[in-house]
Amino acid sequence: MAAVVAAARVLSEAALTGGLRALRGGGGGCRRWKRGGAWALSGRTWSSGAPPGVPPQAKAAGPGLTGAVLREVAQQQQQQQKSTGEEDGKGSDEQQEKTKKQNPTYTKRLLQIVGLLGAGNGVAIIYIFGRNSVDENGVKIPDEFDNDVVILQQLRRSYKYFKDYSQMIMEPTSPKLLPDPLKEPYYQPPYTLVIELTDVLLHPEWSLVTGWRFKKRPGIDNLFQQLAPLYEIVIFTSETGMTAFPLIDSVDPHGFISYRLFRDATRYMDGHHVKDISCLNRDPSKVVVVDCKKEAFRLQPFNGLALKKWDGNSDDRTLFDLSAFLKTIALSGVEDVRSVLENYSLEEDPLEAFKRRQSQLEQEEQQRLSDLTQHKKQQLFLGSLASRLWPRSKQQ
């Protein structure tokens, strides 16, 4: 619009200059007069009022020659914009109609391709997993589906394969995860400690330079040495055997750990790997489960002791406190550990609660011993006083 206004100004100035020259020269080539509210100029007439749709800049130009030129230019530009808009509208409508016609065709083709791929994958899966198992020599092993129609054989074998696979993930690998307890003359510890590896004994750390590394928790060697004579130590971790086996070797160079159980021995429930104590082949009243997740022992909540997740702090003393706690249970000869662990199940930090209670018991014991000592002193004093008075009364 600024360019249009500038052009109009140039035209108006040129027209005015020419008109003035004509007037000065006395010529009659340029005459203007007002006639009926309109200005006439050399055979052309402009209305003094602005036509409808004229921009404000043209209206503000005034009723003179300049204003007339501006209004005419603005009106022409408006007509051009209107015609351009109509053409654009027609083009966009045609484009939308083409898009509407093309979309169903494209969607239909895409669905056909997806359907063909899905059907092909389904046929391939049924063919691969629905075949008979073979032995070492490549001979087919007969099964219960051999008498069915070929298609039914393939379908039923595929179904059985995926059912067994899902059961392998969801259920423990065996109903008896540990062998039978040792009998005399071999020594079988009276209690069983089931402890997690990750975030309880080790903390995984990753860096760009070294990659994944596992840090040993302070007190791990002391824990094994103190508890090995009293507990059958079992590492039961939710990690895979490929990952955890070398880690266990590194934390137990002296062989204090009796058994190792991995992820395939857990029961998968609601997105958690649960450790089912009933599958351990041990007396549940003598089993203590130590983990940093309560979901790990959700099936037997009173057999578990939930510790805080270790963040790699080198000043941590949790394993020393755990060793003292479990050693106290074993030396006390507790018949059922669940009765003890139940008292700590609602504590946010059970080991801190144990230390607090131990401190209270020690204070009470010291107070009892102090009272007993004071009572004995009083008895000795009274006895010595009586012995002094007794001979005098006898002589009298």
Note down pLDDT in tens along the chain; length 396 residues: 454 445 545 445 544 454 444 444 444 444 444 444 444 444 444 444 444 444 554 444 445 556 666 677 777 777 776 666 555 555 566 676 666 666 777 788 888 899 889 888 888 888 787 787 777 787 888 888 878 878 888 888 888 877 777 777 788 888 899 999 999 899 999 999 999 999 999 999 888 888 888 999 999 999 999 999 999 999 999 999 999 999 999 999 999 999 999 999 999 998 899 999 999 999 999 999 999 999 999 999 999 999 999 999 999 999 999 999 999 999 999 999 999 999 998 888 899 999 898 888 777 777 777 777 776 766 666 666 666 666 554 444
How far lies 91's CA from each of 80, 88, 94, 268, in Å? 17, 5, 5, 61
State the burial class of residue 204 (Cβ atoms within 10 Å of its Cβ: 0-12, 13-18, 19+). middle
Token look-up 């104590």 returns 277
Q: How many whole angstroms separate alpha carbon 392 and alpha carbon 396?
A: 6
Domains of the chain from N-terminus onward: 118-170 (no CATH), 191-355 (3.40.50.1000)
Q: What are phi and psi of 345, to 5 degrees?
A: -70, -30
- pTM for the whole thing? 0.60
DSSP class of residue 291 equals: E
Would you tell me how many other CB atoms lie within 10 Å of the CB of residue 238? 21
What letter represents residue 209's amino acid? V
- 3-class SS of residue 355: helix
Q: What does the block give as tokens for 321? A: 């406190």
